[in-house]
Amino acid sequence: MSDEKDSAIVRISGNLNLANAPLLEGQILDVLAKEFGEEANDQPSKIVLDLTPVPHIDPSACQQLTILHKEFRKRGQEVSYVGVQGDVWRRMTNMNVFSVIPKSCFYPTLQDAIAYVDDKKRINGKASNGNGLSALV
């Protein structure tokens, strides 16, 4: 697997709620399959979920994020989160999301998450290609 295919950014926008939370995992998996391929070996080992454009999250979506996080971890994929703030952060705190997803997986900006992934690549002996993460929309 090449370095540029080792990481992905998936941007999630809009409210996350009971109506769309159950679809979240499938939609993310579809995007990853289209970009990287459907085989497990083709999938990126690091995924950044950019939640910056998410203004609201309800309890069902919080639960779905924890399920999603566990599923990706089972597949050996590391998941980081970007842009969670304000009401979304408070709701996640109230719903005990951080008991499943460590706060160390959250970054204030996309640049912080990219820097972390690039540093981890260097530490693990993989040279960075200087492009950071593969962007997905």
Whether 65 contacts 12, CB under 8 Å: no
pLDDT band at 15 (very low <50, low <70, confident <90, very high): very high
pLDDT for 83: 96
Cβ atoms of 16 and 56 within 8 Å: the answer is yes
On the CB side of 76, how many CA atoms lie within 13 Å of its CA? 7
pLDDT on residue 133: 39
Q: Which domains does the chain have, with CATH numbers?
A: 3-136 (3.30.750.24)
Q: Tens of pLDDT along 68-96?
A: 999 999 999 999 999 999 999 999 999 99
pLDDT of residue 4: 55
